[in-house]
Amino acid sequence: MNDNPDRPPTPPDQREDAAPGARPSGDRRLADHLANERTLLAWSRTGIAIIALGFVVARFGLLIRELAQSGAPSAAPAASGVIGIALTIFGAIITALSLARYLQIERGIERGQPQVETRLGVALAVGLTIAGLALAGYLAFAR
């Protein structure tokens, strides 16, 4: 315990006799809820970044069309529009799925049995791989 009367008592989770990493159950649930919220915010930032990228890609086609000033029609602006819209929709879907994941984990924390699924991470990785390949193709053929 605390042998020095001038020092405040040591919290239970920081005592030498406490198990490593042990916390009172209420404190642990609060930490779990806050971690879940931080994860939701990280996924939301990712969704916003993908949406912004989609907007930039879609508008890039307009820039190419204005700079080209040649009479020959080009598929590049149309492709950038399609890719940009797809990225914007993908970002919105990632944001919606992150909310569903947040709510699922939130209910699990309240029940004392949080279960983490990997589907959202897999969806993000697959979607970004497809988007990266589409952008690479667009850049390769839009010269």
pLDDT tens digits for range 46-105: 999 999 998 888 887 777 667 666 665 555 567 778 888 888 998 999 899 899 889 998
The predicted model gives 9-23 an average pLDDT of 51
Q: What percent of the chain has pLDDT above 90? A: 14
For residue 9, pLDDT beyond 80: no
Q: How far apart are CA 57 and CA 51, in angstroms?
A: 10
What single letter denotes the amino acid at residue 21? G
Residue 11 has a pLDDT of: 54
In order of 56, 62, 77, 80, the CA distances from 67 in angstroms are 16, 9, 11, 15
Sign of CA dihedral 44, 46, 47, 51: positive
